[in-house]
Amino acid sequence: MKIAIDAGHGGKDPGAVGPGGLEEAGVVLDIAKRLSAGLLSLGFETCLSRAADVFVELGARCEIANDWDADLFVSIHCNSDGPEAVGIETLYKSQKGLMLASPVQRALIEATGDRDRGLKYRADLYVLNGTIMPAILTEVGFISHPATEARLATEDYRALLAKTIASVLADYGSARKPRA
């Protein structure tokens, strides 16, 4: 199974910035690289939309996944709102996306103990519209919340997020492999 992993933002676009100065682009790039490494170790093929702190247009992110003929597309982001907002949510557009989003969301909540902000249908997100395979966008926490920013700043927490997502994707992919 081929899984395209999109680390949101990058380069000239730092994404959301936490109250302590932590930038979303760096956090999600680290999670994406860890996710890719975990999936590779499990025998999956992966492709990163960006592997460094560079800016990649939204259309190019979709083209990378589509041209590579990925089976799944996972975009990783951090949410931002007021300093009191907390939780994880996972966004999807299609029914197949929902079938992937649901176990990812459930596993992230179980692993982190964070507030469950649920699954959200979003037909207006470019990367969900522009990809032809089942696609999700997971918001792994509110970087605008001081305690969440502190967690996202640690390697252990980012590793936990990546390992959790990798486990779900591995289960999802194994359940869909053709039987010999």
Q: By the 8 A CB rule, do 116 and 109 touch?
A: yes
Task: Tell me which of 23, 24, 89, 139 is the catalytic residue.
Answer: 139
Please check whether residue 139 is in contact with residue 79, taking contact to mean a CB–CB distance below 8 angstroms.
yes
Cα angle: 121, vertex 123, 124; to 5 degrees: 120
Q: How far apart are CA 180 and CA 136, in angstroms?
A: 29
Alpha-carbon distance of 172 to 21, in angstroms, equals 35
For residue 171, how many other CB atoms are within 10 A of its CB?
12
| Alpha carbon distance 132, 180 (integer Å) | 27
Q: Is 45 a catalytic residue?
A: no
List the catalytic residues: 139
